[in-house]
């Protein structure tokens, strides 16, 4: 089962065509998001979004650095974080449903 951070990594890689590596900060954040779960991510969105933007500015991938500097980029970052959370919650529901069927 994928967590919020893993889903976020997949979205960034798939949609934006960039990696989350580079400065190490994103990897720590994504692992924390996976470990702490969707509810924590919702409550800490005000910390997650600026961290993503700050880390993207340090990323080795030039696309991430450029995207992080686009005016108004916070709204799309919020949207992809919410999408990652929703996908993780769906994974949790599917796992619970599979457990109940067994």
What is residue 85's DSSP assignment? H
Backbone angles phi, psi at 46, to 5 degrees: -65, -15
Q: Are 81 and 49 in contact (CB under 8 A)?
A: yes
pLDDT tier, 98 (very low <50, low <70, confident <90, very high otherwise): confident
Could you give the residue ranges of the DSSP H alpha helices within the chain?
Answer: 4-11, 25-36, 38-43, 45-58, 62-68, 74-101
Q: What is the pLDDT of residues 12-41, one digit of tens each?
A: 888 777 766 656 678 899 999 999 999 999
26/101 Cα distance (integer angstroms): 37
Backbone angles phi, psi at 54, to 5 degrees: -65, -45
Q: Calculate what percentage of the chain has a pLDDT beyond 90.
A: 50
Q: How many residues does the chain have?
A: 102
């Amino acid at each position: 089962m994928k967590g919020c951070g893993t889903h976020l990594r997949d979205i960034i890689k798939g949609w934006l065509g960039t990696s989350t590596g580079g400065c190490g900060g994103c990897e720590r954040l994504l692992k924390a998001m996976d470990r702490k779960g969707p509810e924590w991510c919702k409550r800490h969105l005000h910390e997650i979004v600026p961290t993503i933007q700050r880390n993207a500015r340090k990323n080795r991938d030039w696309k991430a650095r450029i995207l992080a500097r686009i005016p108004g980029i916070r709204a799309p970052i919020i949207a992809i974080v919410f999408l990652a959370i929703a996908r993780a919650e769906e994974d949790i529901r599917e796992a619970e449903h599979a457990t109940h069927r067994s």
